[in-house]
Amino acid sequence: MSRITAWIAPLLSLALLGASHARLSVVDTSAQPCSVSYDGYIWYAVPQGPFPPIDVRSWTCDRSTLGSDPAPARPSWSIPRGTTQTRFVATSLQGAYSIEGMRSIETAAAVHHVPVSWMIASFAWLKDLRPYRSFHKANGDDVEAVSYVNLIRGLQRRFHWYLPYVGVLGAGRERDIPGLLALGERAFWGIAWNSHGIDRTDDYGAPWGSYCADPTSYKRPQPDGGCTLLAFEWTARDLTRAYLSGHEEYFSTDPDDLLLRARFTPQAAQAYVRAIADAYAAAGETQPIVMMSQQESDENLAEGDAGILDALYDQAVADGMQVETLANASLDARTFSAAPRAVAFPYLPGGVEMRSPQLGGQKLYPATIDVHDTQSGMTFLAGHTLPTRLFRYADYPESVYNVPLPEVPDEELPVLTGATVAHGELLLSFQAPAALHYGVALWSDPSSLQVEDPRAIRAGRAGVVVLFDLAAGPNTVAIRCGGCSSTTLPYSL
C-alpha cells in the first residue's frame, strides 16, 4: 500500500464524521497530510508541504495547518516531460508599417527557425517588398491579408508563394464571414479570447486556441462537428489569470501587455512567457492544440519587447512544439479543431497581483481547466467538481463582435447531491433544473484514475473532464474509474 493510500482511509473516515467548513479559501501548503474538498462530495488528498493551489471549503485537518504562498512553484503537470502535439504559430499584425520593427521580430524568429506570418491590412504596408521576400526565402515566412479582394489579388501578383488561406479579421469591427467564404478562404484570425471590450471587441465566451467555427455564428463551434470555417485566437493567454482577474489584456503572450499593463520587469516577463509556453506544451501531451503568438512590428521597438519575444520563441522550440505558418496551421489544425478539447493551466505569479472578483478578492488563484465541445464551453477551478461558468452554444444563433456570449445563469445549473464509489465506478448524483449538456472535472492524474469512458477528455496530467447530458430532475451519472477506491482522490501535483 502506498503512503498516500495509507492515509486516505482514515481521512475519509474523518470526512464522513464531519469536516470543518468555512467560506471559500485557496490553499497550497500544509503542515501535515490532509484531505480537502470544495463541494463536500469529492475530496482531494494533499501532502505535507507545498502543493498546487486548490480552492477548498472543507478540510479534515487543523485549518491552521493549511496556508498560502503568494508565489507558489509551478505544478509538475504544467512542465512538459514528453512529446507534445502543440503547434506554435508566430504572427505579426502590421498595425503600422515598421521595417525596423519587422527586422527586430525576424531576428528573434530566424535564430530559432520560427517562420513569421505577416498579416497585412493595407497596400500601405507593401511599400517595400524586400523584407517579405527575403524573410520568406531565408526563414519560410509567409503573408496573409484582410479579406479584401483587391488586396488579395495584389499580394498574389507580388508574392508567387502567397496563398489566401486565412482572413485577418481582428478587433473593433464586425467580422465579414460571408465575404471571407466568398473569397474561398476557410479560416480567420482574430478572436480575442475572454475579452471584455478591449479595442471595442467583446469575444467573451468563444473557445480558446483554434476551433471549428459555425459560419452563421462564428463565436461558437460548428454544431454538426464539421469544419467549414476554422477560427484562430488573437494571441495565447495565461488562461487562469486572464479569466480570474477579468483582465485578459494583461496576461498574454504580447510583450507590451506584460510590460505596460501587467507591469512585469523585462526579466520577469521572459520567465513568465517561458512558463506559459511550458503549460501549453504540457497540455499538448494528450491532444493536439494551437498556441498563437502575435506581436505588431511597430510595437517591438520598446525596451524589453525583443527579449520577451525571443524567450517565447526559444521556449516553444525547446519544448518541442511543431512550428507552423498561419497558412500551414489552417490546414493542419482543421484535422483536430472540431474535436472536444480540454486544457489545464496553472497559476503563474508575477507582475500585478490582482484581486479576483470570482475568488472573493483573493490574490492566490487555483488552476483552471477550460473545455469545450460543439454544445458547451466550461471552466473549472482546481478542486471544483462542477464548472464555475458554462456557455450553452445552442443559445447563440448569431455572433456580434461587441456582444459577449452570456453564461448560463446559476439558477439553471445542476447541483451535485451525492458521490459514491462502487465496483470501479464513480457514481455522481445531480438535481438539474432543466435538461443540460454538462460536465465534471476530477483533479487527479488521469493515468492513476484509469477513467475508461468515451465521454472523458484528458487535460494533460492535471485532470480529466467527463461530459454528459442531464435530464430535468434527479440524475445519476456513472463514470468508469478503475483507480477510484473512494471519493477521496490523490490531488494532481
210-214 and 229-233 beta bridge pairing: antiparallel
**Total domain count for the chain?**
3
Asked if residue 395 is part of any domain, the answer here is no
Same domain? 99 vs 186? yes
Any domain includes 393:
no
How high is the pLDDT of residue 1? 27
Check whether 120 has a pLDDT greater than 60.
yes
Task: Round the average pLDDT of the chain to a whole number and report it.
Answer: 93
For 16-32, what is the mean pLDDT? 67
Sheet containing 425-432: order of strands: 415-422, 425-432, 473-480
The residues, ordered by sequence, that sit 6+ positions from 150 with a Cβ below 8 Å of its Cβ are none
| pLDDT value, residue 23 | 54
Question: Where a domain ends, among 69, 89, 114?
Answer: 69
User: Within this chain, do residues 23 and 165 fall inside the same structural domain, yes or no?
Assistant: no
Q: Is the pLDDT of residue 5 over 60?
A: no
What is d(CA 484, CA 426) in angstroms, rounded to the nearest whole number? 7
In a shared domain, residues 82 and 213 = yes
Examine the domain organization and report whether 90 and 134 are in the same domain: yes
Per-residue pLDDT reduced to its tens digit, 166-195: 999 988 899 999 999 999 999 999 999 999
Task: Give yes or no for a contact between 242 and 251, defined as CB atoms under 8 angstroms apart.
Answer: yes
Instruction: Report the distance separating Cα 8 and Cα 483, nearest Å.
Output: 13
Check whether residue 126 and residue 242 sit in a common domain. Answer: yes
Whether 293 and 321 share a structural domain: yes
d(CA 483, CA 371): 23
SS3 call for 327: helix
Same domain, 65 and 85: no
What's the pLDDT at 117?
98
Q: Which residues are 344's β-sheet partners?
A: 369
Residue 369 lies in a domain: no
**Would you give the DSSP letter of residue 79?**
S
Is 179 inside any structural domain? yes
Residue 59, pLDDT score: 96
C-alpha cell at 71: 508565489
Tell me the H-state helices in 303-445: 305-318, 326-332
**Average pLDDT, stretch 254-278?**
97
> Could you give the CA distance from residue 277 to residue 247 in angstroms, rounded to a whole number?
19
If asked whether residues 341 and 426 sit together in one domain, one would say no
- 389 lies in some domain: no
pLDDT given for residue 96 in this prediction? 77
Domain holding 65, by residue range, is 3-69
pLDDT at 7: 30
* Structure confidence at residue 98 (pLDDT): 86
247 assigned to some structural domain: yes
Confidence of residue 97 (pLDDT cuts 50, 70, 90): confident
Instruction: Find where cell 489544425 sits.
Output: 333
More confident residue, 169 or 9: 169
Over the stretch 360-405, which tens digit does the pLDDT of each residue have? 999 999 999 999 999 999 999 999 999 999 999 999 999 999 999 9
pLDDT band, very low/low/confident/very high, at 304 (cuts 50, 70, 90): very high
pLDDT band per the 50, 70, 90 thresholds, residue 2: very low
Do residues 72 and 347 lie in contact, with contact meaning Cβ atoms separated by under 8 Å? yes
Is residue 416 pLDDT above 70, yes or no? yes
Assess whether 34 and 96 both reside in one domain: no
Task: Show the beta-strand stretches assigned E in 31-121.
Answer: 34-37, 43-46, 49-59, 66-67, 86-93, 116-120
Domain-embedded: residue 127? yes
Domain final residue, candidates 300, 320, 345: 345
What's the full length of the chain, in residues? 493
Tell me the C-alpha distance between 30 and 399, whole Å.
Answer: 46
pLDDT, tens digit (0-9, with 9 covering 90-100), for 67-82: 999 999 999 999 999 9
Task: Report the C-alpha gap between 324 and 210 in whole angstroms.
Answer: 14
**What CATH number does the domain containing 114 carry?**
3.20.20.510
pLDDT at position 14 over 90: no
Is the pLDDT at 129 greater than 50? The verdict is yes
* The CA-based dihedral angle spanning residues 359, 365, 366, 367, taken in that order and rounded to the nearest 10 degrees: 120
Domain identity same for 192 and 323: yes
Residue 366 in domain: no
3-state helix, strand, coil in the chain (%, to 5): 30, 30, 40
* Domain end point (choices 329, 345, 361): 345
Same domain assignment for residues 219 and 113: yes
Whether residues 62 and 87 fall in one domain: no
**372 near 467, Cβ under 8 Å?**
no
